[in-house]
Structure formats: C-alpha cells, structure tokens
Structure 1
C-alpha cells in the first residue's frame, strides 16, 4: 500500500498547542493528494494557452480538455465547500500545461484570481534555502557536516552537536519557533515588528529541545531560521539577495522573491481568513481574531506582513515560476550531481514505517502516491496555502494554491479538507498522465 506522509499535528514531537504554520508536506500528500483547498465559480484559462491548444492535434486537444474539465469539477467542489478560490497548474511533460482557476463570487469583488498571480508560498521557501546552502557546499564554503556552532557561535544551545544537515532535514530536535507565543501577534497581523533570522532563531531555542540531535525527525521552522542566519553569516548577503541573485534572476523567475515586508511586486492573489464570527470552532481561541479589511464574513490578510516567515517561509512566487524552479532543480541545472544527490538523501519521517514510508531530504520531501513517487513540499502562512509537486526528473510539475490557511492549519473544516484531498489526488495523477482513482474523480461531478 502507498504510504502517506505523517500529519504534523498528529506527531508526538510537536507541541500540542503549536500551529503547523509554514508547514511541510502534510498527511494527504502521498496517499491521496496534498493538503489545502478552496473553491469558486469560474475557470480561467489564459487565451494564449487556448489558442495554442486549438492548433494541436485533435487527440491532444481532447486529452487536455478532458483533464481540464475533471480538475475544474474538483476545483469547483473545493470552492463550493467554502474555499475562497484555487489555482491549479499541472504539466505532465508532454504538452501544454493544464491550468484551472476557480473563485468564490464574494472574493471576485476584490479582484479576479488568475493563474499568474503572485502568491505567498510559506514553507516551500525551505526548498530554495536548501538549494542556496548546497550551492555554497559545492563551492567549498560550507560543509553539510559543519556544526552550527562554527557559524553561529553561542546562538544555538548544543550547537556543536547540530550539523547543517540536521537543520536541513529536520533532525536537529530544535523546538519550532511558530509555537512561541511571542510570534502570535505577527501571525495574526497585529504586530508590524520586523523579524531577523537571529530573532526567529532566538524564539525557538529559548524552549527545551525535543530530542537529542540526529536521533529522530520532527518538522521545525527554527531549523530554517538558523539556515537563514548561517547563509547571511557566510556570504555577508541577506537571504533575500541570495535568492534573487542565485536562483530568481538566473532562472528568469520574474515574480519570485523573499518578502521582507508586506509589499507585493506584481499582480497578486488576495488571501483570506474567516472573521471572528465565522471562524470554525476547530480553530483555537487565540487565533480567531485576524487583522485586515473585512467583508462577507472574511478578513483580507493580503496587506499583512509575512516577514515573520523569514528563511522558513516568506517567499512569494507564482505557479509558473515554481514549475520552472522545480524543473531546473531536479534536472540538475541548479546544483552539481553530488549536491543534488545529497538533497535527495532522505531520513524517515514516520517512525512506524521507517523503510517504506515517506522521507525528508534537504528542503524537500518524498513519498509514494497511487500514481507515482513524488518530490514535494507544501506551505501555509496566514491566508495562503500552497502545494508544489514534481517527479524525480523535474519534467513533470504541479502546483495547487489556495488563498486561505487556518482551516487547513487546524483541520477545522472536514468538507474543505475532503474536497482538497480529492483535488490533490487528481492533480498528482494528471501530472503522471495516469487515470485518477474513481473515488477522487467522482467528487464534484454534479
């Protein structure tokens, strides 16, 4: 049986009250899809893509339209379940990508969602940060077995026993800084404070570690706060500048950047959370009041500052940019073969299935699905949930973006979660060019 990635909320390693914000790949990723959702009413297929499709052979046209129709039904079901909207982009490596956009009518009043909109990518940021570290490893400026103490002396308790590799694959044992109450106001958008990598690292390390370094796996954003601080210490450049100069510009990713404040650089998706009166009961009381303009029972959080995500989760990108990044990464364009192999070397994420279960590499995770083995990550930051998926070659890519987060963060709406799971399953199977399992394909066919 295909194994699913363990759900972080269910992990005994995570503090019970700690949110999974800036999370990594969630439970549904491998067995049945990924995790997030939304929904709406209209499919937005860019005119140039339609024109190109019309010139393709009839069989290819029929195939693309059939895929689009199936994904559109599932995306619409997600919106009908309560999501503000969803952007889906799937490329099976054999022709034009399938692109679907659905949006709730109430959200359209703030602007029409489009497949090329900039989106806050949350923990997908970690994949790019890992690439930056591995670039420096290839240049002999860093070594994965370097202790954190070498680069951040006195900043991490027991830093002599924690290596850069442990930070990157989440085996350091460090407490997740998103579980510290000092960050809550920033998560909710009520505190305009600017956080540095060292600030965020300090939040995490003031808590007792979860286990001895290297003995177990537990997802922690503190690992990547430390990574950001190391990158800045070694190069003398900010993580934002490193990402721009070493990844975004060389690959032509015109809408990809590490946000350091609330400013967007282009057309962007608006993100939402329910207002206090409409917040699902499963969301803890301390997360029920979010800052931002309100209408239709929702709060628009797109003007809030995501800088508290830092090197763990503050990247902004688009579906198209991320596909280009994944293709360049997995094909070997970004990293030498030795460093790409290190990135793909995994540790078990599920202690009950250490051999055949999912694995955590360096900034990316892998696992089995009904339609093939994926390499993936996902992200959640207030108002924005994202899932990015590729195969081992980078020839096939998929992205699902949903402009809301708390319902996923706290598993607070079963209907949205089920619709999201069905859509993600279909997305993965479409990426591999395989039929969607009947149960998933049947969802939302009315």
Structure 2
C-alpha cells in the first residue's frame, strides 16, 4: 500500500507450534544485545574478518544516501544464527546527527503482506483455513462475482480482485484528509461494484485488495480480530515486542523519519503524512529493523509453519514484488523468491511515502537480511534510484550468503 505525498503526485502503487517455535524465539531475542552499540561508525555486531566487508557495505549504503534523490537514511541488519551485523548510513532525522538504529520504528509498507500471509498459513497449518477455501464460502457478503477466488490466489496475487487503493473515491478521501480514519474492514467496498479483472488463477497482478481479503478470511475462520491474530500467531511466538498495527498516523518513538525527496527542494518529512487505517493488512504495520529481521528469518525458513504448508508457500509463479527485489523475482504465497548472482533468498519488499523495505532470509531460516531506506522508491516514481537500490540489495544478499 503506498499513497503519495501531496507535493509530488504519482500513480498509486502499493505498499505463523509452540515447542518448535522456541528456537525461533531464542534467535530473535539474540538480536537484543547486539543492537545497542554504534554501527557504521563503530562496532554493532561481531568484530572479526568481516570488518572490511562491512565497511564496503556501508559505502554502498552511503552511495544511496549521497544521491541528490537518495534517502536521508539507510540501515541494514544481517543475521547468521546469533551473530548480528548492523550497517547504516545517513541520519534518522534530517537536521540532526542521530544515526538510524535497529530499535527505531518505521513503516513496513507492503512487507506487511508477509505478516497477513503468516497469519493465514498458520491457520492453514492447524486446519482452520484451507488454501482452496473460497471467498464465497468464507466471506459470502462480498460480491458474488468474486466468489470463486481462493485463499491461495489471494496470497500469490492471481485473484483478479480490483485494487481498492486505485479507486477514485479512495484517493479523493486521502487527498481531502490524509489522516482520514477508514473502516479497515470495509476497504473492499471501494471496488465492490467492480468485476474481477481476469479469471482467477490465470495470471499475476499485484493488488492491495488481496491481503485485505486474506485478513478478513482469517477473522471469519477464527472469530478473532486480525490485530489479535497478529499478536497470537506472529508477535508472541517470535518475541516481536516493537511491532504493531496502528489505526492512526502517529509513530512510536524513537522512529526513523521518512521523507519525500525531490531535488532541488529540501526533503519533506512525510513520516506521519498518512494514517495506517487505509492500508491495514495490506501495508499498515509499524516495526523496527530488529523485529523485521527476526520475522524475515522465520518467514523465509524457520519453524513458523509446517513442512507441508512451507512447500505450498514456495510454489512460485511469475511475478515481482512491489517494488521489485534483488535479482530475478517469483511470487509464492505472501513470499517472493529472489534469485541473485550469489544465491536465492525468500522474502518481501514494500514501499510507502517515506519508506522502502526489503526483508529476506535463507531457506533454512538461519540467515536473514533487512534493508530499510527512508524515502519511497519504486519503478513508477524513481526507476533509476530503484535500479541502484536493487543492486545494493543484491550486494547485501551476497554478503549474507558468503561463507
């Protein structure tokens, strides 16, 4: 889910058992002692032969920050088992010397779709949902024309649902009041009069509507609010204490300030430009680089879901995340396969005003990577910057996968 800052209009693009999760929880908690010291300008992770490599990685982030159209700040977290490295460049807030930190809050944008996917696949694991369950069976109040769409098709963006975030009425409300509080469970009403855009399952088309429907199916299957399912199925099992789904526009402190960058004008702070109720399960999550990294590991290959469900998750079709991640992209069930020159990782990206995200991990869940920058980067608004960012992300993947 990714509405736009008003200063620069662009096309709208958008923005998981108990015993088995103990190891994942321990791994996520291992991040805490490693992220309290300085990084980029000093040690924040282990001191060994990787120091030269970390300096090279920091230089790559600095190249992004130094571009006239680049993000004011950038931070990457790389983890191998309990060893954590934090690389950063730039500032957490323009006009200050405060560096980005792994405990700073930030908007996850469409990387939030991986979390709604995690809730859904956890419910599939325990038999409360099925990948072939249809909208007609689970959400009969939705348009009958959409009834044959399955949970699987929603998760891999082959549903054909029209994208509510592109509806003129939705855009009009945001333009009139960027802090407008939407009824998040009625977002699909903006396109309820629209037919499917293609026969479900016949092609890939990224749509913010898909993950709204996923969350609604999870609620229908359990009788619980999606926010409560996030807590019981994701946050608590993984020890994510700084991840939340707000309905308003404020961010918990401290936070990475996000900016609209349009040279030669100075960067415009858009951190709180939009509320989260209009993106909800599709892009409304707030987290930190540390929490996001712990989730990325578990979602890519940890014990978050069982082996049979994992095999379904990694059934891929042609399709890229939004924005495209490093290397060649293929779409699975709320996860993307990123095949780079150094190997393959699995994860999700996202972009929204002020923020662009990549979270990825290895198939065994032992290594994970997040890259977060504080401006919106996508193909429609900044194609050259996106190409640069993807190249930097691939370098970080290579560092993650190095022996």
SS of equivalent to 1:400 = strand
For residues 255 and 220 of structure 1, the distance between their equivalents in structure 2, rounded to whole angstroms, comes to 27
Residues 148/18 of structure 1: CA separation in 2 closer, same or farther (3 Å cut)? farther
TM-score by length of 1: 0.74
Q: Does 1:84 align with 2:101?
A: no
Q: Does 1:128 align with 2:128?
A: no
User: Where does structure 1 lack aligned partners over 5 or more consecutive residues?
Assistant: 1-16, 23-42, 55-60, 280-295, 351-356, 435-446
Q: How many residues align?
A: 365
Aligned equivalent of 1:378, options 325, 330, 349: 349
SS of equivalent to 2:49 = helix
Aligned to 1:301: 271
Whether the 8 Å contact between 1:18 and 1:178 is mirrored in structure 2 is no
Whether the 8 Å contact between 2:355 and 2:372 is mirrored in structure 1 is yes
Whether the 8 Å contact between 1:225 and 1:310 is mirrored in structure 2 is yes
Deviations 1:298-317 (A, max 9, x none): 23333631221111111111
Deviations 1:377-398 (A, max 9, x none): 1001221110111111111111
For residues 298 and 409 of structure 1, the distance between their equivalents in structure 2, rounded to whole angstroms, comes to 20
Name whichever of 101-110 and 201-210 sits farther off.
101-110
SS of equivalent to 1:379 = strand
Whether the 8 Å contact between 2:185 and 2:216 is mirrored in structure 1 is yes
Aligned to 1:69: 55
Q: CA deviation at 1:278?
A: 5.4
SS of equivalent to 1:264 = coil
Residues 418/162 of structure 1: CA separation in 2 closer, same or farther (3 Å cut)? closer
Aligned equivalent of 1:336, options 300, 306, 315: 306
Residues 90/230 of structure 1: CA separation in 2 closer, same or farther (3 Å cut)? same
Residues 332/86 of structure 1: CA separation in 2 closer, same or farther (3 Å cut)? closer
SS of equivalent to 1:258 = coil
Deviations 1:142-175 (A, max 9, x none): 1111110112113134233111111111111112
For residues 218 and 308 of structure 2, the distance between their equivalents in structure 1, rounded to whole angstroms, comes to 20
Aligned to 1:387: 358
SS of equivalent to 1:182 = helix
Q: Does 1:319 align with 2:289?
A: yes
User: Where does structure 2 lack aligned partners over 5 or more consecutive residues?
Assistant: 1-9, 16-36, 321-327
Q: CA deviation at 1:329?
A: 3.3
Q: Does 1:425 align with 2:367?
A: no
For residues 53 and 224 of structure 1, the distance between their equivalents in structure 2, rounded to whole angstroms, comes to 38
Aligned to 2:24: none
For residues 44 and 210 of structure 2, the distance between their equivalents in structure 1, rounded to whole angstroms, comes to 46
Residues 266/341 of structure 1: CA separation in 2 closer, same or farther (3 Å cut)? farther
Aligned to 2:251: 264
Structure 1 segments (4+ residues) deviating >4 Å: 185-189
Higher relative contact order (CA 8 A, sep 6+): 1
Deviations 1:23-78 (A, max 9, x none): xxxxxxxxxxxxxxxxxxxx95189x837634xxxxxx132x11210111111110
Residues 109/252 of structure 1: CA separation in 2 closer, same or farther (3 Å cut)? same
Q: CA deviation at 1:227?
A: 1.1
Q: CA deviation at 1:297?
A: 4.3
SS of equivalent to 1:223 = helix
Residues 69/361 of structure 1: CA separation in 2 closer, same or farther (3 Å cut)? same
Aligned to 2:27: none
For residues 393 and 150 of structure 1, the distance between their equivalents in structure 2, rounded to whole angstroms, comes to 35
Whether the 8 Å contact between 2:65 and 2:71 is mirrored in structure 1 is yes
Q: CA deviation at 1:114?
A: 1.7
Aligned to 1:45: 39
Residues 247/143 of structure 1: CA separation in 2 closer, same or farther (3 Å cut)? same
Residues 91/185 of structure 1: CA separation in 2 closer, same or farther (3 Å cut)? farther
Q: CA deviation at 1:344?
A: 1.4
Residues 52/211 of structure 1: CA separation in 2 closer, same or farther (3 Å cut)? closer
Aligned to 1:353: none
Aligned to 1:142: 129
TM-score by length of 2: 0.82
For residues 162 and 125 of structure 1, the distance between their equivalents in structure 2, rounded to whole angstroms, comes to 21
